[in-house]
Amino acid sequence: MDAVAEQLHQLEAEVKANLATPRTDTVAFLNQSLARLRSIPFDVEPRTRIDCLLSIVQQFHHQGQSVFSAVEPAALAVMLAEQLGDKTLLRRALNLQGIVLFSTSNPGDAIRSLARALEIAQSLGDEELQAGTWNNLAAAFYEAALYSDSRECLLQAADLALGVPKLRGLRGLALSNVALCCLHTRDYQEGIERIKDSISLMPPPTSPAEMLVRVQAEANFTRLLLATGRVREASERVQLAKEFAAQAKSVRADIAAACAEGLVEVYSGLTDVGLSRGMAALEKARVIKPTLRETLLALVQAHEKAGRPDRALALHRELTLHVRKAQQDNIVTRDARRRRLLAPKTNPGSHNERTGGARLSAGRCRCSTSALATSSFSVAGGGISSTKRATNAASSEWPWFLRRPIAVRHPCSILCRVSAS
């Protein structure tokens, strides 16, 4: 057993080392790490296994090249944390699971996971955990195009972090996301004020994840400035985005910076150069699916500005088809999960039933990402209320913000920064 535990610790060290300094073949390395992890029995140091799984999930998300590969390890981490009864570890696992779910066009299940994570954070009384989870819950609402609900969550995060020195970065993250909401609601001036406050609060980025956050903030600042006709200032911000992207070691960062730079070039009169740069970014985004919608939106804007409405219309059609396909894929996945969960159970007390659909077989994991998904959710977009409601499928309770039924819909943009704390 000691030798097996040593293998697990060695794997954890390698995964965490790659988190700090990503290698060029990170996706292949993460898949190999998961394969090695499956060969280690589940009863060997489960906390170390969970930490390893969450590090792998975080890196899949950061790279953006294979985010769907993070769904299974995220679900397994949640299951193991529930079995351990460790609230802090469970909140972290649910938090990362929510990030993965809304990054794979599944905001409904993401809201469920993050709602549970928020309740746990509130029960622990940790303001830092609460602020980070509020920010990620806002991202899930943003993915569902519920901008007012997203904004309310972000203001909750910002208020929790106000006046707390160690939470300056989290407050900056929340305000950056408020600015992103303003970009899509066309409250450009407010968005500029929010993004300025956000960047002033962010510490100098030192890790690849922090670099990615800063790239996205600068890219959104650039778009807000362009929307108000301040091209010269936008060109200054895009240079910063490029510098941070070079250090982020993430294709997602490269795409965000390239889109912003292409837009600045189009607005500066360098139409052909800007459109060429934007189309090159689009080719990458067609592989890195989480960035595709935002990139298509930027290209539509660029072609409209360049006076090429036919091409803008064609890109908008691609955007519409992409969103529709994501919705259809999500419906198919939910329907398959519903049939599995409603199927007669031969052994009511089985491990499968106790873990909400997760099955373990021959050392390998087969996990459903959540309990039975529904097509509508209950949220509160107004003030805080302690009123809770029991679900009709089980006796669990919803948090206060899941009280008003809403239809989850997919927006034309999903890029929203997240907090993996």
Question: Above 80 in pLDDT, residue 366?
Answer: no
CATH number at residue 105: 1.25.40.10
Is pLDDT above 70 for 166?
Answer: yes
Of residues 332 and 270, more confidently modeled:
270
Choose one of 325, 344, 369: the last residue of a domain. Answer: 325
**Model pLDDT, residue 21:** 79
Please say if the pLDDT value at position 50 is more than 70: yes
Q: How many domains does the chain have?
A: 2
197 — pLDDT class (breaks 50, 70, 90): very high
Render pLDDT for 104-155 as a digit per residue (tens, 0 to 9).
Answer: 878 888 889 999 999 999 999 888 899 999 999 998 888 777 888 899 899 9
**Would the pLDDT of 348 be above 70?**
no
- Does a structural domain hold residue 66? yes
Residue 330 — very low, low, confident or very high, per pLDDT cuts 50/70/90? low
Residue 16 predicted with pLDDT over 60:
yes
* pLDDT value at 357 more than 50: no
Please give the average per-residue pLDDT across 191-211, as a whole number. Answer: 92
pLDDT tens digits, 293-308: 789 989 998 999 999 9
Residue 377 lies in a domain: no
Whether the pLDDT of residue 347 is over 60: the answer is no
Percent of the chain with pLDDT over 90: 42
Is 72 a domain residue?
Answer: yes
pLDDT at 185: 85
Q: What is the pLDDT of residue 279?
A: 95
Domain end marker among 74, 107, 125: 125
Q: Using 50, 70 and 90 to split pLDDT, how confident is the model at 7?
A: confident
Residue 379 located in a structural domain: no
Average pLDDT in the 368-373 region? 28
Whether the pLDDT of residue 398 is over 60: the answer is no
In the predicted model, is pLDDT for residue 244 greater than 70? yes
In a domain, 105, yes or no: yes
Residue 318 predicted with pLDDT over 70: yes
Instruction: Identify the pLDDT of residue 216.
Output: 92
Domain that holds residue 42: 27-125
Does residue 304 lie in a domain region?
yes
Q: What is the mean pLDDT of the chain?
A: 78
Which of 17-31, 40-54, 246-260, 378-392 has the weakest average pLDDT?
Answer: 378-392
Q: Is residue 89 part of a domain?
A: yes
| Weakest mean pLDDT among 12-26, 149-163, 352-366 | 352-366
Q: 331 or 206: whose pLDDT is higher? A: 206
Chain-centre distance for alpha carbon 53: 17
| Per-residue pLDDT, 144 | 77
pLDDT at position 352 over 60: no
Q: Which of 325, 341, 363 is the last residue of a domain?
A: 325
Of 64-78, 128-142, 202-216, 404-418, minimum mean pLDDT range? 404-418
Q: Residue 59: inside a domain, yes or no?
A: yes
